[in-house]
């Protein structure tokens, strides 16, 4: 059996603002309209679909595996924005990154408070199955 994850709906209070934030921070092409959502295509054929109708958002955690070069770009953009970020999921190490599993990682929040994580090595060094 071969099952692939296709998309997820990201709760947001403003889909255009959310899509623009992810596009800017991650250095991605603009989101496309996939009514009633704005869809942001990620590099592994998965789409983040921003809803935009929520008045309140239940905060979610989204983790992104990126290359070392992409990490440099993302982290640089976070710093240029003056974005709060942490080395740990408990937000006890502000303004730092981690070096877990021999890679690099950082945590930060999107405009709706979703907890985002960017890592260069999977937890435990788990290899990719693709």
pTM: 0.93
Instruction: Report the candidate in 104, 110, 108, 85 with the shortest Cα–Cα distance to residue 96.
Output: 85
Q: How do residues 21-78 score in pLDDT, each as one tens digit?
A: 999 999 999 999 999 999 999 988 999 999 999 899 999 999 999 999 999 999 999 9
Domain 7-125 has CATH 3.30.70.3270: no
Q: How do residues 72-123 score in pLDDT, each as one tens digit?
A: 999 999 999 999 999 999 999 999 999 999 999 999 999 999 999 999 999 9
Q: How far apart are CA 39 and CA 25, in angstroms?
A: 16
Q: Is the pLDDT of residue 130 over 70?
A: no
Higher pLDDT, 41 or 128: 41
Q: Is the pLDDT of residue 129 over 90?
A: no
């Amino acid at each position: 059996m071969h099952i692939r994850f296709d998309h997820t709906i990201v709760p947001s209070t403003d889909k255009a603002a959310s899509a623009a934030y992810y596009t800017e921070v991650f250095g991605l092409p603009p989101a496309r309209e996939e009514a009633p959502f704005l869809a942001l295509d990620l590099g592994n054929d998965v789409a983040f679909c921003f809803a935009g109708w929520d008045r309140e958002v239940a905060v979610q955690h989204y983790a992104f595996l990126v290359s070392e070069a992409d990490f440099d770009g993302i982290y640089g953009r976070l710093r240029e924005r003056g974005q709060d970020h942490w080395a740990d999921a408990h937000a006890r190490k502000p303004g730092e990154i981690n070096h877990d599993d021999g890679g690099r990682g950082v945590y930060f929040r999107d405009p709706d408070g979703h907890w985002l994580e960017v890592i260069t090595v999977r937890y435990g060094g788990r290899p990719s199955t693709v």
